[in-house]
Structure 1
Amino acid sequence: MLSYQHAYHAGNFADVHKHLTLYATTDYLLRKKTAITYIDTHAGRGLYPLATKETQRLQEYREGVWPLWQQRERLTGTLLTSWLSTIASAQSANHELTHYPGSPWWLSQPLRKQDRLRLYELHPGEHQHLNAQALPMQAQRVYGDGLVGLTAMLPVTTPRLCVLIDPSYERKAEYQEVADAAIYTLEKARHGVVLIWYPLLPADHHHVLLDALKASGIRKIWRSELLLREPDAQAHGMYGSGMLVINPPWGLEERLTTAMAEITPLLGATSRYQADWWVGE
């Protein structure tokens, strides 16, 4: 299925959760000089103008990045304020939020000469938008299946690897496919950092992914979940956002927990954050 277009959801609370985690992770990785290969399996457009008809149709950013942006002068946490300052650099005017950056933008901004970035996108329209984005020469855009491309690339030539996997999960089979790709990745790159996003939906299909990874024998899997509202079996749509970080950099959990303590009050009275080690060392 190729119907999913992230422009309808750009800047929502799940994007905040996912991209803040990605930003914090890459910030740690860049503290060492050794080269990194970044792989984004489901890249999307790269940069989303909020005024487009797709984004304006649902305006999900109003329950995501928008309230954080409005309160950015009052926030105190270094991770969150740094992340919002980086978003400001993507705007034509720093005082007005006109664009939301997707994962290709977040991954390309800190690229150094020694680093590499591979961006996969299978949707033809989304890949066309991605091709139109200005990216560093180390970034390679590939029109194709990201999970297939990921496994074909391994092992990478750089000493370090960071992978972001965040499909739409339109097909139930994707939960197991993501688990299989992550397991294979860690077989080929035992110390690679793998970030996996998953939706929290009333059907709870994400447990297929979580249980498969736990059964795999992989260690050091940190689980992070941002809930916009409490689960309701009678309701429709995503009530929360989940992130798994395999081999997380030291200190990541504490920095994100501190940032989320500032974020959740801004997302509404029913929002909350929870995190734990899904699999310890």
Structure 2
Amino acid sequence: MLSYQHAYHAGNFADVHKHLGVHVMMEHLLRKKSSITYIDTHAGRGLYPLSGKEMTRGAEYQDGIVPLLKHATDHPDVASWLAALDTLQASGNSSPSLRFKRYPGSPWWLARNLRSGDQAHFFELHPGEFKHLEAQSFVGSAHCYQRDGLNDVVAMQPVATPRLLCVIDPSYEVKTDYQQVASTLAKLLSKSRHAVVMVWYPVLPDGRHQVLLDHVKASGHKKIWKSELMRWPEGHTRGMHGSGLLIANPPWQCPETLTDAYTSVARVWGGSARHHGTWLCPE
């Protein structure tokens, strides 16, 4: 299906959850010199201007990234993530709510620290979104494909570099996406046992994400950490009340770092916001 466009949701609480996770994992991975391949299976357009009609219509960023821009957090990884975000914005503007001009999608976070020897592969099936992605200046030496990444990521294994970081975050427009993502993750890990893989999923009142979790647990793969960042109470009328992440083979101490970071974020949001992290599939 090609109806989904992430521009309507850019910068929301789920993006904070996902992209802060990408940032922290990259910080850990980049401590070593060996080359990394980055793969984003559903890249979107890469950058989302605040003035765009899509972001303006839903303004979901107001409940996601904006509170973090307005209120300081004492967690160093959240602070460094916000500092990286700030490099995209116009300089010399001291107002947090005004300095926020555009929000970057996961391709930007993956591409910003590409080193010699690293590779990046971005997949996006939607023709309009792909056109935007290709035109982004940050793409640089990254490879962009107008295809569904779930159909290609397994075939790409093993990659040419010693390490792999893969982000899988489809729209879940159809219920079978949950099972397909679980199947893709299992096949990917079977071919690249030490790959670091990050799977995003929505937490909805009907609990349909449980299909994904059950299939991943049944796959037999180990060392998969589950993180759920809840923004709204269950039954919230706007639908998605939480954001979920599965991280296969997270770098050493990354789950602990992320737990502290997400707890810091939840404190800024206040209300019913909370984080829960646990090993879905222990070692």
TM-score, normalization: structure 1? Answer: 0.96
C-alpha distance after superposition, 1:69-97 (max 9, x if no partner): 111xx322110000000000011226401
- After TM superposition, list the pairs within 5 Å mapping 1:89-104 onto structure 2: 89-93=87-91, 95=94, 96-104=99-107
Structure 2: distance between partners of 1:240 and 1:265? 15
Cα pair 2:168 2:198 within 8 Å, conserved: yes
- After TM superposition, list the pairs within 5 Å mapping 1:197-276 onto structure 2: 197-232=200-235, 235-276=237-278
TM-superposed deviation, 1:266: 2.2
Structure 2: distance between partners of 1:147 and 1:169? 12
- After TM superposition, list the pairs within 5 Å mapping 1:101-250 onto structure 2: 101-232=104-235, 235-250=237-252
Matched, 1:84 2:87: no
Cα pair 1:113 1:138 within 8 Å, conserved: no
C-alpha distance after superposition, 1:212-245 (max 9, x if no partner): 110011000100001112212x845100000000
C-alpha distance after superposition, 1:18-39 (max 9, x if no partner): 0001110111111111111111
Structure 1: distance between partners of 2:10 and 2:139? 23
Structure 2: distance between partners of 1:6 and 1:204? 22
TM-superposed deviation, 1:254: 1.5
Gaps of 5+ in 1: none
Structure 1: distance between partners of 2:154 and 2:56? 36
Structure 1: distance between partners of 2:59 and 2:106? 19
TM-superposed deviation, 1:136: 4.8
Q: How many residues align?
A: 278
Cα pair 2:201 2:243 within 8 Å, conserved: yes
Runs of 4+ residues deviating >6 angstroms: none
Residue 43 (structure 2) aligns with? 43
Identical counterparts, % of pairs: 51
Gaps of 5+ in 2: none
Structure 1: distance between partners of 2:263 and 2:188? 32
TM-superposed deviation, 1:184: 0.7
C-alpha distance after superposition, 1:112-131 (max 9, x if no partner): 01100000000000001101
Cα pair 1:9 1:61 within 8 Å, conserved: yes
Q: Secondary structure at the match of 1:87?
A: helix
TM-score, normalization: structure 2? Answer: 0.96
Cα pair 1:11 1:60 within 8 Å, conserved: yes
Residue 14 (structure 1) aligns with? 14
Q: Secondary structure at the match of 1:152?
A: coil
Residue 30 (structure 1) aligns with? 30
Structure 1: distance between partners of 2:238 and 2:7? 20
TM-superposed deviation, 1:270: 1.2
Cα pair 1:202 1:235 within 8 Å, conserved: no
Structure 2: distance between partners of 1:111 and 1:209? 31
Cα pair 1:39 1:119 within 8 Å, conserved: yes
Structure 1: distance between partners of 2:76 and 2:138? 27
Amino acid at match of 2:85: I
TM-superposed deviation, 1:2: 0.5
